[in-house]
């Protein structure tokens, strides 16, 4: 039986935890999970926005949606979120590590505290949440993790040196973990989109770069590609033909050229990262 067949069966009592669920890709993935019959645990910083998403999921799909407002930039965020879910008596069957923050600027000039917060959200929180929830999935013999990485995972990006590195980490982590748990009934998928039209552009000085001036992707289509790829058991999802082409370029181009292309996404708004 395929992984998709397994996911399609008896999902009424299963739960998906989605981080960064208040907007953008996370909100759309939450909607898709709910449409497949998954109960939801939704987390982000903005409780009012989460309540709105939860209400829509319950009204439109007839599932249960639990809101846990949590800033993943806080040092103990993963433990606090895990504790709240445990105290509610909820088992998490699907973990969607979607929350992420950007930071644009020369490394010698960017704010250290902002970078520290970004590392917690983009690296520490997804790693710790995976550590806390995947053992239960392995014990039950079913479940999965969907990590929102980026096409930046494949490209060094001068001007976003640390951000790009966090996404490279997430891709590497996903691939290795997928191999470790492949015989345990658990899948791990990394979603690697290019630039997406979300509130991302309003944070981390991204509006001062050229990132958003190129071709962008809408969050719904990216979420659909990611969720469907996850349900099919794919390890890496590149949600467009161009994204797939851009990722393949890194295999054949000289390393300096790859880095130059990454830099062009900042200066000229090239669309592949």
Catalytic residues, by residue number, are 163
Residues 6+ apart with CB under 8 A from 235: 174, 175, 178, 187, 188, 189, 190
3-state helix, strand, coil in the chain (%, to 5): 50, 10, 35
CB 28 within 8 A of CB 53: no
Distance of CA 102 to the CA centre of its chain: 13
Residue 100: CA count within 13 A, CB half-sphere: 30
Strands (E), the chain: 15-19, 39-43, 65-67, 94-97, 143-148, 186-191, 236-237
Burial label for 127, CB within 10 Å (0-12, 13-18, 19+), is middle
Looking at the DSSP bridge assignments, the partners of residue 43 are 19
């Amino acid at each position: 039986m395929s992984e998709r067949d397994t996911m399609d069966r008896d999902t009424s009592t299963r739960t998906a935890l989605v981080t960064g669920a208040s907007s953008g890709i996370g909100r759309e993935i939450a909607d898709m999970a709910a449409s497949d019959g998954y109960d939801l645990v939704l987390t982000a910083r903005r409780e009012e926005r989460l309540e709105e998403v939860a209400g829509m999921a319950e009204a439109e799909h007839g599932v249960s949606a639990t809101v846990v407002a949590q800033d993943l930039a806080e040092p103990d965020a993963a433990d606090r979120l895990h504790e709240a879910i445990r105290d509610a008596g909820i088992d998490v069957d699907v973990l969607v590590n979607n929350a992420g923050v950007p930071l644009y600027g020369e490394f010698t000039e960017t704010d250290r505290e902002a970078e520290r917060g970004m590392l917690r959200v983009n690296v520490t929180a997804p790693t710790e949440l995976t550590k806390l929830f995947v053992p239960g999935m392995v014990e039950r013999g079913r479940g999965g993790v969907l990590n929102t990485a980026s096409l930046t995972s494949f490209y060094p990006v001068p001007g976003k040196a640390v951000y790009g590195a966090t996404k490279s980490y997430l891709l590497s982590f996903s691939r290795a973990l997928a191999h470790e748990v492949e015989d345990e009934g658990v899948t791990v998928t990394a979603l690697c989109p290019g630039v997406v039209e979300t509130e991302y552009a309003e944070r981390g000085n991204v509006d001062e770069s050229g990132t958003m001036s190129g071709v962008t992707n809408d969050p719904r289509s990216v979420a659909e590609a990611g969720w469907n790829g996850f349900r099919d058991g794919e390890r890496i999802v590149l949600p467009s033909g161009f994204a797939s082409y851009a990722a393949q370029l890194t295999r054949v181009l000289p390393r300096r050229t790859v880095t130059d292309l990454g830099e062009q996404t900042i200066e000229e708004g090239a669309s592949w990262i």
